[in-house]
Amino acid sequence: MQTYRVWEGTRTWLPGDDTSKFTIIEITGEELGWFEDVIDGKTYYVYQTSEGEVVINIVEQNYGIGEPSRAVIYRFSSLEEAAQSEQRYALEGLRLI
């Protein structure tokens, strides 16, 4: 098992920028995979914790200087619960379901 740091909120990645509002959480488990959807500009990361929880982190990068990137974190008690949610797309994209 590894420890991963995932974030949600908005951040610009500029040093000293105090307008960024984000939270970082640590999860212990394994990365089930990730993929980038170039059409919607989002990257989907899927993890399974040591307790069996499924964590989906969706990051929308903005490559303009000073423009914020956005991320959200979704947590599910199991892969089956995640498959029944709006985040099914991430699981299908990784061929986990």
pLDDT, tens only, 37-89:
988 889 999 999 999 999 999 999 887 777 889 999 999 999 999 999 999 99
Predicted confidence at residue 88, as pLDDT, reads: 94
Reply yes or no on whether the pLDDT at 4 is more than 80: yes
User: What's the pLDDT score for residue 30?
Assistant: 97
Note the pLDDT tens digit of each residue in 13-29.
777 777 779 999 999 99
Q: What is the pLDDT of residue 49?
A: 97
Distance (Å, whole) CA 57 – CA 14: 21
Phi then psi dihedrals of residue 5, to 5 deg = -110, 120
The model carries a pTM of 0.89
Report the candidate in 50, 58, 97 with the shortest Cα–Cα distance to residue 74: 58
57 closest CA partner among 88, 38, 89, 34: 34
